[in-house]
Amino acid sequence: MGLHNLNTGFNYTLDWSPLFGVLNWSRPTVLEDDSLLWCNQGASCFSNNFTGYFRGPGTERHPVAKTTGKIISAFSHWVTWDNNTGIYGDTAYLMRSRDGPYWTDTWTCGSFVQRAFQALYDLGVRFYPDFQPTYDLAIAYTHRPEYLGNHTEIFGADGDPVLAQRLISYFKHLRQKDHHHMYLYFNEAYWHAKLTSQPPDALTKMIVPLPGYE
């Protein structure tokens, strides 16, 4: 999100991104003792000027709303709350079909912008009607994912050693995995999903209406 201060002329970027790289969102590092190390934290931050994606090829900036400093100050408290609430990142959305439903409420840089727009709307911001943003989403189409258990239930002293080894083997050889199912770590638990199509090799463009124009 880009913010332009009409009084000072200063520009700012509010961005949400992985702290340890995009690939660590969806896969752990398998250590020498066959334990799994997850580095999938994400967070938002303000930076000076328009940065990052605003300079990418083919990207454009569109004004979507006008607001006040008072609302932006209140919005900054929401950003802190959001940072403390959604600290883990994910890469792929899991859906039954393009029309939904979403099986997972994925936390990415794109979903952060959607949450932020909704927070601004709830604070009183009204968006311009002549632009609807497009988001690039990584989507895997699956049946309803099956809950397998949290870390203790699988890897603990009274866990499931067969399932634990299956997960370790899957993440260790992730690039050679078959394309009929996938294991994922979501909401601090492990899940299994049977795929109805190939895993997402490319991003899918989805229009998500601005709040107030759904």
- Residue 101 banded pLDDT, cuts 50, 70, 90: confident
Average pLDDT over residues 155-178: 86
Query: What's the pLDDT score for residue 135?
Result: 83
Query: What's the pLDDT score for residue 99?
Result: 78
* DSSP letter assigned to residue 210: P
Please provide the average confidence, as pLDDT, over all residues in the chain.
85
- Tell me the CA distances in angstroms from 161 to 34, 97, 139, 185, 194, one per residue in order: 12, 34, 31, 17, 22
What is the per-residue burial (b if ≥16 Cβ within 10 Å, else e) of 69-89? eeebeebeebbeebeeebeeb
Taking the C-alpha atoms of residue 192 and residue 89, their distance in angstroms, rounded to an integer, is 18
pLDDT tens track for 35-51: 888 888 888 888 888 87
- Residue 199 banded pLDDT, cuts 50, 70, 90: low
- Residue 20 banded pLDDT, cuts 50, 70, 90: confident
Residue with token string 């998500």 = 208
Taking the C-alpha atoms of residue 198 and residue 34, their distance in angstroms, rounded to an integer, is 28
Taking the C-alpha atoms of residue 82 and residue 116, their distance in angstroms, rounded to an integer, is 9
Which is it for the CA torsion 192, 194, 197, 198, positive or negative? positive
Phi, psi of 53 (to 5 degrees): -65, -20
Taking alpha carbons only, the member of 148, 154, 137 closest to residue 206 is 137
Taking the C-alpha atoms of residue 95 and residue 145, their distance in angstroms, rounded to an integer, is 10
pTM of the entire predicted model: 0.82
Domain chopping of the chain, boundaries:
2-207
What percent of the chain stands above pLDDT 90? 37
Q: Order across the sheet with 92-95: list the strands.
A: 92-95, 134-141, 204-207
Taking the C-alpha atoms of residue 156 and residue 197, their distance in angstroms, rounded to an integer, is 33
Residue type, 190: Y
pLDDT tens track for 108-160: 888 899 999 999 999 999 999 988 888 877 788 888 999 999 999 999 999 99
